[in-house]
């Protein structure tokens, strides 16, 4: 929990609570504690609960992060709004460009596209910067029309992203970068500051 507090205090935009092996009761307890930690350390950081909209609602989280093969974001938003007046943040995991398009069409707030780079210790190939660039560009325009450089739909790069290659992701059009190890190692405030400097270049 101390790392969540540190991430919020450092100015991380979004924190995803992703605990697949906990019981519903234990996940709700952890989520409630995590939400309180974020609220105590940042007025801006948003905390999303992985997949479980009911737990996100119960613990007053800001929204949910949906797996790529979950319900469409539009359906989850509609279900959420039936029981809460608060507009949720809905993020979606994507592993292909067409999944990015699908999430955008169904009203997701942003997607996390992964893996961009091959992750050390795995055999999962990275999608590469070109795929990220295409995902950030938006749908291909009709023939004989000028291409729009960016769709405006936020795509975050995940998977093997570090401080050295983050700039490459941002130049490709990513709205930002996501990570686990990236934010678990070293001084979080310094990491976030350096990433913010890359965003402003």
The tally of domains found in the chain comes to 1
pLDDT of residue 152: 84
Q: For position 100, which CATH number holds?
A: 3.20.20.70
pLDDT of residue 147: 45
Mean pLDDT value across the chain: 91
pLDDT of residue 139: 59
State the average pLDDT over residues 11-33.
94
Say if residue 57's pLDDT is above 50.
yes
pLDDT of residue 120: 66
Tokens of 109: 């707030």
Instruction: Place 68 in a pLDDT band, splitting at 50, 70 and 90.
Output: confident
Q: Say whether pTM exceeds 0.85.
A: yes
Instruction: Place 20 in a pLDDT band, splitting at 50, 70 and 90.
Output: confident
Where in the sequence is the domain holding 124, given as residue range(s)? 2-199
Query: What digits encode the pLDDT tens for the residues 159-200?
Result: 999 999 999 999 999 999 999 888 988 889 999 999 999 988
State the average pLDDT over residues 26-47.
97
Query: What digits encode the pLDDT tens for the residues 112-169?
Result: 999 999 876 667 789 999 999 999 986 555 565 544 455 689 999 999 999 999 999 9
């Amino acid at each position: 929990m101390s790392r969540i507090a540190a991430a919020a205090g450092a100015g991380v935009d979004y924190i995803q609570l992703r605990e697949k092996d906990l019981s519903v009761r234990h996940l709700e307890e952890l989520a409630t504690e995590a939400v309180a930690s974020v609220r105590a350390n940042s007025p801006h950081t948003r905390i999303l609960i992985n997949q479980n909209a009911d737990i996100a609602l119960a613990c007053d989280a800001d929204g949910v992060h949906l797996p790529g093969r979950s319900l469409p974001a539009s359906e989850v938003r509609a279900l959420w709004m039936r029981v809460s007046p608060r507009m949720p943040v809905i993020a979606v995991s994507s592993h292909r460009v067409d999944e990015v398009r699908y999430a955008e069409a169904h009203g997701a707030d942003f997607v996390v596209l992964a893996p961009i780079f091959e992750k050390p210790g795995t055999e999962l190939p990275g999608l590469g910067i070109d795929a990220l660039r295409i995902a950030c560009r938006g749908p291909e325009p009709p023939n004989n029309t000028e291409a729009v450089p960016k769709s405006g739909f936020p795509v975050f790069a995940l998977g093997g992203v570090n401080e050295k290659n983050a700039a490459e992701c941002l130049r490709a059009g990513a709205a930002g970068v996501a990570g686990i190890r990236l934010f678990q190692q070293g001084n979080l405030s310094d990491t976030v500051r350096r990433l913010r400097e890359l965003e402003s270049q």
